[in-house]
Amino acid sequence: MEFKFTEENIQKVEAVLKKYPEKKAAVMPVLYLAQDQNGYISGEVMKEVAFLCEMPEADVLGVVTFYTMYHKKPMGKYHIQVCTNVSCMLRGAYDIYGKVKDKLGIDNGGVTPDHQFSLEEVECMGSCGTAPMIAVNEDYFENLDVPSTLKILESLK
Amino acid sequence: MEKIVLPDIPNLHDIDAYLSNGGFKAYKKAVTQSPDDIIDQVKKSGLRGRGGAAFSAGLKWSFMPKGNDKPKYLCVNGDESEPGSFKDRQIFEYNPFQLIEGILITCYAIGAKTAYIYIRGEYHKWVNLMQKAVDTAYARGFAGEKMKETFGGEFFCDIFIHKGAGAYICGEESSLMNSIEGKRPYPRVKPPFPAQNGLWGNPTTINNVETITNVPAIINKGWEWFAAIGEPKHPGTILFGVSGHVNKPGVYELPSGTLLTDIIYKYAGGVPGDKKIKCVIPGGSSMPPLRGDQLEGVKMDAESLRAAGSAIGTGGIMVMDEDTDLVKVLARITKFYYHESCGQCTPCREGTGWMLKLLNRILRGEGSTKDVELLISVANNIEGNTVCALGEAAAWPVKFMVTRFRDEFEARVKSGISIDVRNKVHSMRKTVNPIAPLTLN
């Protein structure tokens, strides 16, 4: 399926390109815009981004696959990210992670069949002082325990 | 005690509150002096980088070539992905304009016309907050071409935010530049250093967010004032992020040289249940961990920590009480570096994987006594053999955790298993006639 930016997003792309002396440098912000519009980065998305940033498609692929935050497949409506790094782990992150896995019935990288939830075990999110934490899409939820985490999941409909 | 980076002033994230508390006075003072004077003052103040290496900020600036034949750039490193450090987000949230003012002064000093603030991708909220602050600065004439009208003079600079996408390695300065350039962010071989060959081959300086935020205060109050705070060799205040087994985790701005035990017990409220401390990592997960009995009298500055057998890093203090399973902690730290190794250098790419396999084997109770030695050997073969410091960051925790807590690791392994035989069995299992699994004794 061909991918084209919406009129509104094309203007955002134009604005982003102005921030850098070379078009190639805008690849990361343009990929973010594409992901926002399309939900994930498909081959067609990369083709369009490569065209806009005047770079080879292979280089776009190299960028996309390097970072964890560009999704290569459609994710759930709510993308649940559980930090299990040391500071969170010391305060019970693995209990939370285990319960979230049970509750959603999916493992790391999985998506529920109804595409409501996807799960990712993430590395340190910079919430060590308010550990443990989960992030739902772009929002942080901090100072959690198992009951409060389950409450958050239940509130997501 | 005076706070420099995160002062206790309400609503400082609002530009009017910032202005009524002396905002942009430092920049006005700076532009009446020559760039070399500014660099000289920062050098004399003794301000050292807060991102991990604790390199003199003024000295770094002085490496920038003079003259205008090439565009110059400033990169502000807010990638902050080191487990245990969470200080820069406080600056983005509570004191963004002091960061912006610091950027203006730094750009003036090194002659840069463009600054990129690199913020990690997970910090959506803080990217938005910082973007709002930058937009306000542009609208009010504190950034961009309008600076000429606001401050007079010919100098102006642009500030852009570049959002990362979840790669720890982008906190490494040359990787950060490749990331901004839109390349696959592998670290570059140095030399040439960024001051000669940085962004798009042009002279570039990279400083940590906290470092830059200190600059306006130095210009305002003078280098003598700054140099007198805390330890003379590493002056100023440091944002210490305390996490793990403490009653009041959080970010504490304290003078350098504050006792580590004071930070844990006086400020962070001690260990829950009054348990004993088994281990403290004083500067983010990549720094050598200290044993509970090594903490007495340790001061938190670069030199004192080096003498104590660790390093200041990003000032992220992780506290672990006596019930902590350190094999598990080390396996988790190693999993992080295994995940974040960019894959450019073989020792790091392969070595982190091997260390993780060995640690997981010990965790499963299948480790042999030789595994403990092997861990140190793998770590030693990574250290110093890679392009960037991620090699050291992965090797140090393993090397020092195993050496300093040897009994913990030896209690988990069995002498009855010979690693050589196990390896042979593994390789033979892949042949056409697999043999039965080896039983452990």
B182-190 average pLDDT score: 96
Closest CA to A153 of A118, A113, A114, A125: A118
A86 contacts B244? CB cut-off 8 A: yes
How many residues are recorded in chain B?
441
Interface size between A and B, measured as CB pairs under 8 A: 139
CA distance B383 to A112: 42
- CATH class name, domain B15-227: alpha beta
Please give, rounded to a whole number of angstroms, the shortest distance from the CA of A36 to a CA of chain B.
Answer: 13
Residues of B within 8 A of A15 (CB-CB) are: none
The predicted-structure confidence for B285-312, as pLDDT tens digits, reads as follows 999 999 999 999 999 999 999 999 999 9
Q: What residue type is assigned to position B340 of the chain?
A: E
Inter-residue contact B71 to B87 (CB < 8 Å): no
The predicted-structure confidence for B194-241, as pLDDT tens digits, reads as follows 999 999 999 999 999 999 999 999 999 999 999 999 999 999 999 999
Instruction: Report the residue from A32, A84, A129 with minimal CB separation from B249.
Output: A129
Closest CA to B201 of B184, B180, B217: B180
The predicted-structure confidence for B325-360, as pLDDT tens digits, reads as follows 999 999 999 999 999 999 999 999 999 999 999 999
A90 contacts B182? CB cut-off 8 A: no
B29-42 average pLDDT score: 96
Instruction: Report the residue from B182, B184, B340 with minimal CB separation from A25.
Output: B182
Please give, rounded to a whole number of angstroms, the shortest distance from the CA of A21 to a CA of chain B.
Answer: 9
Residues of A within 8 A of B168 (CB-CB) are: 123
**B 52-111 residues with CB < 8 A to A:** 71, 80-86, 88-89
Residue matched to tokens 């803080």: B126
Sheet order of strands, B290-291 included: B250-255, B237-244, B316-321, B277-281, B290-291
Percent of chain B predicted with pLDDT > 90: 91
Would you say residue B439 has pLDDT above 80? no
- Greater confidence (B410 vs B436) lies with B410
Residues of B within 8 A of A131 (CB-CB) are: 243, 249
Residues of B within 8 A of A62 (CB-CB) are: 183-184
**B 283-342 residues with CB < 8 A to A:** 285, 316, 318, 320, 324, 328-329, 332-333, 336, 339-340, 342
Q: Does B210 touch chain A (CB under 8 A)?
A: no
Report all structural domains of chain A as residue ranges with CATH numbers, in order of start: 7-66 (1.10.10), 78-155 (3.40.30.10)
Instruction: Report the residue from A25, A90, A135 with minimal CB separation from B181.
Output: A25
Q: What is the ipTM of this complex?
A: 0.96
> CATH 3.10.20.600 occupies which residues in chain B?
237-317
Sheet order of strands, A134-136 included: A117-122, A78-83, A134-136, A139-141
Would you say residue B323 has pLDDT above 90? yes
> CATH 1.20.1440.230 occupies which residues in chain B?
326-410
Residues in chain A where the model's pLDDT stays below 70? none
CATH code of domain B326-410: 1.20.1440.230
> CATH 3.40.50.11540 occupies which residues in chain B?
15-227
Secondary structure of chain A in HEC code, one letter for each residue: CCCCCCHHHHHHHHHHHCCCCCHHHHHHHHHHHHHHHHCCCCHHHHHHHHHHCCCCHHHHHHHHHHCCCCCCCCCCCEEEEEECCHHHHHCCHHHHHHHHHHHHCCCCCCECCCCCEEEEEECCCCCHHHCCCEEECCEEECCCCHHHHHHHHHHCC
The predicted-structure confidence for B370-423, as pLDDT tens digits, reads as follows 899 999 999 999 999 999 999 999 999 999 999 999 999 999 998 766 555 444
Query: What's the pLDDT at B104?
Result: 98
Query: What's the pLDDT at B423?
Result: 47
B162 contacts A122? CB cut-off 8 A: no
Would you say residue B427 has pLDDT above 90? no
Interface residue of B243, B342, B344 to substitute, partner A, most A CBs within 10 Å? B243
- Which chain A residue lies closest to B117 (C-alpha atoms)? A19
Q: Does B124 touch chain A (CB under 8 A)?
A: yes
**Residues from A in contact with B at Cβ < 8 Å:** 19-22, 24-29, 31-32, 53, 55, 59, 62-63, 66-70, 84-87, 89-91, 122-131, 135, 138-140
B125 contacts A128? CB cut-off 8 A: no
Query: What's the pLDDT at B54?
Result: 94
DSSP state of B415: T
Interface residue of B117, B131, B184, B247 to substitute, partner A, most A CBs within 10 Å? B184
Q: Average model confidence (pLDDT) for chain B? A: 93
pLDDT band at B434 (very low <50, low <70, confident <90, very high): very low
The predicted-structure confidence for B68-82, as pLDDT tens digits, reads as follows 889 999 999 999 999
B184 contacts A87? CB cut-off 8 A: no
CA distance B314 to B118: 17
Interface residue of B322, B332, B337 to substitute, partner A, most A CBs within 10 Å? B332
* pTM greater than 0.90 (yes/no): yes
> Any idea which fold B237-317 has?
Ubiquitin-like (UB roll) (3.10.20)
Query: What's the pLDDT at B414?
Result: 84
Q: Does B400 touch chain A (CB under 8 A)?
A: no
Query: What's the pLDDT at A102?
Result: 96
CA distance B258 to B417: 47
